[in-house]
C-alpha cells in the first residue's frame, strides 16, 4: 500500500492522477498547507522541504519515502513499467518534457499565481515578469502539441506532470492571450477526459471537502 500525502493544488493532483492511471492501491492523507501542517515534524520526516506532495511506499514490507512530484512520478513509472518508455529516444523525450515542467511550467506559473493573486503587496514588475514567462512557457507547450496528441508522442508522465499547472494557467491567463493556445486547449480536454484523471480529481476534491468542510 502506498500512503500519499497531498492537498488540492496543481502539484498535489499529480500523484493522485498517476496512482489512478497505474491502478495502484493507495491511501490519501490530506496535509492542510493553509494551516502549516506541511512544516510539522512528522511530515518533515517524509519531505524535509516541507511541501506536498510526498509518498511512502510500504509495499513488500519496506518503507520508501519519495518527495518532489517529478521524483514521485518517475518512481511510480519505474515501479509499474507504465507511462514512461523503458529506454531509447522516446524515454529521453518524455523525461525532457517532464523536467520542463519541474523547471519551467510549475515554477513560473506558481510565481505568477503568487504575485498576481496572493501577495498582499502588488509588485507590477514581478507580476509582469512571471505573467510573460508563464505565457511564453505555455506557448512552448502549445507549439509542441500542434502536430501531436501528447507531449512525448504516447501519453506519459510528461502529460500527467504538466496537466495541473497548464489547466490552471490557461484558465487564469485566458484574457491575457492563453485563449489563443488552441493546441494546448485540445490537450487539456484530451487529458482531462481520461477516466483515471476524472476519478483522481473527484477523489481529491472529496478528500479536500472532508478535510476542510468550511472552505468548500
Ligand atoms: N517542486 C515541488 C513543489 C511542491 C510545492 O510547491 N507544493 C506546494 C503546494 S502546490 C506547497 O506545499 N506549499 C506549501 C509551502 O510552501 O509551505 C514538487 O513538485 O513537488
pLDDT in 10s for each residue of the chain, 216 residues: 999 999 999 999 999 999 999 999 999 999 999 999 999 999 999 999 999 999 999 998 899 999 999 999 999 999 999 999 999 999 999 999 999 999 999 999 999 999 999 999 999 999 999 999 999 999 999 999 999 999 999 999 999 999 999 999 999 999 998 889 999 999 999 999 999 999 999 999 999 999 998 876
Q: Is 105 in the pocket of ligand 1 (CB under 6 A)?
A: no
CA 105 to chain centre: 10
Q: Is 51 in the pocket of ligand 1 (CB under 6 A)?
A: yes
What pLDDT does residue 60 have? Answer: 85
Distance CA 192, CA 167 (A): 9
Q: Which domains does the chain carry?
A: 2-82+196-215 (3.40.30.10), 88-194 (1.20.1050.10)
By CB atoms closer than 10 A (0-12, 13-18, 19+), residue 129 is: middle
**What are the residues whose beta carbons fall under 8 Å from the beta carbon of 54, sequence distance 6 or more?**
4, 5, 6, 43, 46, 47, 65, 66, 67, 72
Closest atom of ligand 1 relative to the 33 alpha carbon? 14
Grid cell in block for residue 104 = 519551467
Q: Which of 16, 40, 49, 52 to mutate to test the pocket of ligand 1 (most atoms within 8 A of CB)?
A: 52
Residue nearest to atom 12 of ligand 1 (CA): 51
**What are the residues whose beta carbons fall under 8 Å from the beta carbon of 7, sequence distance 6 or more?**
30, 31, 32, 33, 52, 53, 208
Q: Is 194 helix (H, G, I), strand (E, B) or coil?
A: coil
**How many whole angstroms from 54 Cα to the centroid of ligand 1?**
10
What pLDDT does residue 177 have? Answer: 87
Contact assessment for residue 170 and residue 178, using Cβ atoms and an 8 Å cutoff? yes
Contact assessment for residue 181 and residue 142, using Cβ atoms and an 8 Å cutoff? yes
Q: Which of 6, 7, 11 to mutate to test the pocket of ligand 1 (most atoms within 8 A of CB)?
A: 11
DSSP 30: E
Distance CA 15, CA 54 (A): 8
Closest atom of ligand 1 relative to the 31 alpha carbon? 12
189 CB neighbour count, 10 Å cutoff: 10
What pLDDT does residue 216 have? Answer: 64
CA separation, residue 164 to residues 32, 63, 110, 136 (Å):
19, 28, 11, 17
Closest atom of ligand 1 relative to the 38 alpha carbon? 17
**How many whole angstroms from 147 Cα to the centroid of ligand 1?**
32
Amino acid at each position: 500500500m502506498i500512503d500519499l500525502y497531498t492537498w488540492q493544488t496543481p502539484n498535489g493532483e499529480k500523484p493522485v492522477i498517476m496512482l489512478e492511471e497505474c491502478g495502484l492501491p493507495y491511501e490519501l492523507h490530506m496535509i492542510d498547507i493553509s494551516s502549516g501542517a506541511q512544516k510539522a515534524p512528522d511530515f518533515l520526516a517524509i519531505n524535509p522541504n516541507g511541501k506536498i506532495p510526498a509518498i511512502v511506499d510500504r509495499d513488500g514490507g519496506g518503507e520508501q519515502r519519495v518527495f518532489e512530484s517529478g521524483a514521485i512520478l518517475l518512481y511510480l513509472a519505474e515501479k509499474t513499467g507504465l507511462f514512461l518508455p523503458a529506454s531509447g529516444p522516446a524515454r529521453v523525450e518524455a523525461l525532457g518534457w517532464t523536467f520542463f515542467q519541474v523547471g519551467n511550467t510549475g515554477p513560473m506559473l506558481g510565481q505568477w499565481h503568487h504575485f498576481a493573486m496572493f501577495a498582499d503587496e502588488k509588485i507590477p514588475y514581478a507580476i509582469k515578469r512571471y505573467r510573460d514567462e508563464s505565457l511564453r512557457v505555455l506557448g512552448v507547450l502549445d507549439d509542441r502539441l500542434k502536430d501531436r496528441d501528447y507531449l512525448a508522442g504516447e501519453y506519459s508522465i510528461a502529460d500527467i506532470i504538466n496537466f495541473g499547472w497548464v489547466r490552471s494557467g490557461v484558465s487564469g491567463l485566458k484574457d491575457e492571450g492563453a485563449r489563443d493556445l488552441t493546441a494546448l486547449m485540445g490537450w487539456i480536454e484530451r487529458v482531462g477526459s481520461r477516466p483515471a484523471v476524472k476519478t483522481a480529481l473527484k477523489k481529491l476534491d472529496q478528500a479536500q471537502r472532508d478535510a476542510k468542510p468550511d472552505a468548500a
